[in-house]
Amino acid sequence: MGMQIGFALFNGLTVGMSIFLVAAGITLVFGMLKILNIAHGSFFMIGAYVAYSIIGSHPDSTLQLVFAAILSGFVLAGLGLLLNASVFQRLRNIGEAYSLIATFALLMICNGATKIIWGVNYHSVSAPDALAGAVIYGSFFAPSYSLFIIGLGVLTFLALEIVVHRSSVGKIVRAIAHDSWMANLVGINTSRIYALVVMAAFFCVGMAGGLLLPNQSLTPLLFESYLLQSFMVVIIGGLGNIRGAFIGAIMLGLIEGANFLMLPGIPGILVYVILIGFLLWRPQGLFPQPGADTADRVEGMAETEGVPATMPPKSLSGGIVAAVLVVGVLASMPFWANAGFLFIVGFAMVEAVLALSWNLLFGYAGLTTFGHAAFFALGAYFVGFLLRQDTGIPFLALLSGSLALGALVAFIVGFVAIRRTSGIALGILTLSLGEILRRAISYSPALGSDDGLSGIPRPQIDLGPVLVDLSSERAYFWFLLAACSLVALALWSFTVGPMGRVLIALRQDPVRAEFLGIDVRRYRLLAFVISGAVAALAGALQAPWAQIVTPEAASYLHSTQPMLNTLLGGSGFFWGPIVGSAIFSGISYATRTLAGLSEVVSGGILLVVVLAAPGGVLGLGSRFSRTWRIGALHKRPAVDELARVGKQAVGGP
Amino acid sequence: MIECSNIYKSYGAIPVLKGISLTVAERETFTIIGPNGAGKTTLFKVLTGEVPANAGVVTFNGENITRLSASARVHRGFGRTFQVARILPCNSVLENLIIALEARARRTERGSLLQLRPSDRTWDDAAEIAGRISLLNKVDIPARFLSHGDRKRLELGVTLALKPKILMMDEPTAGMSPGDRNATIDMIVRVKDEDRLTIMLTEHDMDVVAHLSDRIMVMNYGEAIAVGTLSDIRDNAAVRDIYLGEEIGDA
Ligand SMILES: Nc1ncnc2c1ncn2[C@@H]1O[C@H](COP(=O)(O)OP(=O)(O)OP(=O)(O)O)[C@@H](O)[C@H]1O
Ligand SMILES: [Mg+2]
């Protein structure tokens, strides 16, 4: 037993150091640019592929491996320089949620490009002979490669530590991270330093890709393997603190080790449970960085293209005509569209409802969550499971049940989460909850484990005198259309009524809302509950359409879908998410034949939208009509803000 | 009306308020002055519930409100404006006012959830307030396009829509031109009279202080140096030291 514990500890340490090697870069970027780079895992993957292209499957010597790793570090540093100029620089001026989404767009582009360049096949790389063996010391036995990784992790940490805390460059870097405005004022060329830091971070991650190559199976899914852990390290460490990241990485590794000993049946779940506890206990991390969490920053909001309408339009006729047209065209589709396309359209409608529910949080209540798919999966599994059991419960009762289930879970989660966290911490908390649910499902035989529930029958609806049979594709499509339209209409009335106005007030300025007598927490919780309920309903509607539910329904990749749809369409418009869903579905249908292309195209469009038109497609449209109406008025109240900033900087005691 | 005793507040290790006590009577205008960083805004934050105090008690009309949230205090009659005006930037002037009116109405009367548009009375009230703050000609403009002075006025209007009993204004004339400043003084005098308000404010401009205040408290480094009428304060030696010191510093 002692032996086993020792081995688990050692393994944990190795994992921890691997995580640190990957997370060092993301920490640097966050500390400096205040951007949580979601694409970091993808850059790690690209680093690994580049190194693989250099050395192939069987590196001859350790030196060759290290050499390839360094080379790939340089390649990535070049890429970093490019991205800094084209993307990161612009992200500094937009809201936090937008910069998160922009880096997610980068993730999609990178992953797609990787598939196109290197293919989707599996490769494995063996460790060079010198590292393939083990070091044996008494009864203790340690793989050489693990020792190599641990040594490199410590070395990297020491190098960064010395550069950041002891060198003159490090001093400047810290000064900028602390207060870039002042740094600019005293004549530091901040943009050059930013570029330097980004390059350093990319160098680190490229090198990590090469060094960790022998530990991995090289597939286009590699980006996932350290992604979430890297986030956790950044969060635990205190957002941008290298020392914190180092300690956090070791902690994570040891937790993984403990998971292996105590819960061998569900690998990787303990980390999430502990992370959630940690977030609730110390949302600011072990070593909070000044100005790191931007949860209370309201300026970012004013930069967006406005908020959704707070009141119903004076005349409804235009809207009614448009709605009848859209619904009419959709309803006619079973008569002319082919089955594959019809299937996609059905999915798009459900995704649109999911996105509408997410935007209720993002665009209305000002909460950015990353785990929305969890509610969707709850509803989907609830209905899918019960339909397969043939319980005889009426379908409409099942749908109401999924609404109630979603609301209940959202209430419990929201009650704790909204009280304790905000900003990035809330994002990561919801992400972790989603991941826990996904893992829990994929290890539950009753729910079909990884394969999910398949062969879900389509129901009948008993309306007393008439029995509506939904078992055909066509019938269920119409039902889906009716249900989604009704939900959208209900949500719309909610948002243009008094409650919508309350939410819009607190999204723009929670402090002002509180001083209007609005209990901000209570209304945020209300939004959370409604949003969770609708998301669960979307899942419930989808289960009989797809006739299969898999744990992927709860994955964070699915959670990001509503975000992408919303941002693309325009979060400042109630109908934005629907427009976005339509466009995204169109893209993925059009590019379905070449693996990777759809990700590159969708990611590229999303990036352009976030950088050039943060109001989304609808925002672009309304901007044109607005400039046309009040051309002379300009926003950006920067001038009188400056006086205040200047006063604070100079006039303080 | 409002009373606080022995308020202590520190940010991290830095003490910002060191045992502040004060009492404001009904319909009084009570002004807090002091150099930058004295802790005036922090005192406002504690009194209105934006941040909790480390120690001390706040009472309002005899009720201990120390632990109440800001919104709960608003329900009891607090109105607050900020050093840098807080308004809803993406909403129009009229919408800002309507949202405030509805926030108040929700507490006092039962509205129907099925009525999506604000009631006719709300529209009328909003227009009336817009008139009182002289923004009637700008009701449809999104608040982010307003000038600095207009924003401050709108914030006052939004706060008045809540029908507060006590108005707490943090530097109501900060950054205004002399013309705007005089107009604001007149407006404050007028609304105080019309709405029978008690007012607490902080201010740097001595003209404004002299025009509005019944009593004045001078703060420095988190302590109350003196409390009294304008002439009491003028004659106070400690106050003189602070202000003469600051003037030399500024020059
Ligand atoms: N959130 C905060 N965290 C840390 N320190 C703070 C915070 N807010 C204020 N302080 C500090 O507390 C002190 C008092 O600040 P406060 O804003 O109350 O002063 P003030 O009297 O309102 O000044 P001014 O006349 O410039 O408005 C200052 O030294 C300030 O730096
Ligand atoms: Mg102040």
Tens-digit pLDDT profile for residues A268-299: 778 778 878 877 777 766 666 554 444 444 43
Q: Enter the ipTM.
A: 0.92
**pLDDT 10s digits, B106-163:** 777 766 667 788 888 889 999 999 998 888 888 888 888 888 888 999 999 999 999 9
A440-461 burial: b if 16+ Cβ within 10 Å, else e: ebbbeeebbeeebbeebebbee
**pLDDT 10s digits, B5-27:** 899 998 878 889 998 999 999 99
Q: Where are the alpha helices (H) located in A547-637, listed in sequence order?
A: 556-569, 576-590, 597-612, 616-629
Taking CA atoms only, the protein residue closest to ligand 1 atom 13 is B37
| Closest residue to A653, CB basis, from B37, B99, B159 | B37
In angstroms, what is the span from residue B39 Cα to ligand 2's centroid? Answer: 7
What is this structure's pTM? 0.84
Residue (of A528, B57, A429, B169) closest to A520 by Cα position = A528
Residues A406, A537: contact at Cβ < 8 Å? yes
Backbone angles phi, psi at B66, to 5 degrees: -55, -35
Residues A128, A65: contact at Cβ < 8 Å? yes
Highest mean pLDDT among A122-136, A158-172, B127-141 belongs to: B127-141
* CATH 1.20.1250 for the A2-300 domain, yes or no: no
Rounded Cα–Cα distance for residues A214 and B207 (Å): 75
Which pLDDT score is estimated for A240?
A: 66
Q: How far is the CA of A129 from the CAs of A59, A125, A216, B128, in angstroms?
A: 8, 12, 17, 84
Rounded Cα–Cα distance for residues A139 and A608 (Å): 58
Two structure tokens written together for A227 = 């992604």
Rounded Cα–Cα distance for residues A409 and A417 (Å): 12
Which pLDDT score is estimated for A88?
A: 84
Q: Is the CB of B38 under 6 A from ligand 1?
A: yes
Rounded Cα–Cα distance for residues A208 and A174 (Å): 24
- Kindly determine whether residue B36 and residue A647, on different chains, have CB atoms separated by under 8 Å: yes
Is residue A154 pLDDT above 70, yes or no? yes
| Better pLDDT: A96 or B173 | B173
Across the range A373-401, mean pLDDT stands at 93
Two structure tokens written together for A613 = 């038109």
**pLDDT 10s digits, A42-85:** 999 999 999 999 888 777 788 888 888 899 999 999 999 998 88
- Kindly determine whether residue B116 and residue A493, on different chains, have CB atoms separated by under 8 Å: yes
Q: Which atom of ligand 1 is nearest to the CA of B11?
A: 4
What would the DSSP string read from start to end of B102-156?
A: HHHHHHHSPPPTT--SPPHHHHHHHHHHHHHTT-GGGTTSBGGGS-HHHHHHHHH
3-state secondary structure of A76: helix
Which residues on B lie below 8 Å from A643 (Cβ)? 175
Across the range A125-141, mean pLDDT stands at 74
Which pLDDT score is estimated for A557?
A: 79
User: Which domains can be identified in chain B, with CATH numbers?
Assistant: 1-69+204-251 (3.40.50.300)
Which pLDDT score is estimated for A374?
A: 95
Q: Does B91 touch chain A (CB under 8 A)?
A: yes
Which pLDDT score is estimated for A99?
A: 80
A516, A522, A623, A630: best to mutate for the B interface, most B CBs within 10 A: A516
Rounded Cα–Cα distance for residues A643 and A631 (Å): 27
- A interface toward B at CB cutoff 8 Å? 301-302, 304, 306-307, 310-312, 493, 496-499, 501-502, 504-505, 508-509, 511-512, 514-520, 572, 633, 635, 637, 640-641, 643-644, 647, 651-653
**Domain residue spans of chain A:** 2-300, 342-574, 621-653
Residue (of B23, B76, B89, B10) closest to B48 by Cα position = B76
Across the range B230-235, mean pLDDT stands at 84
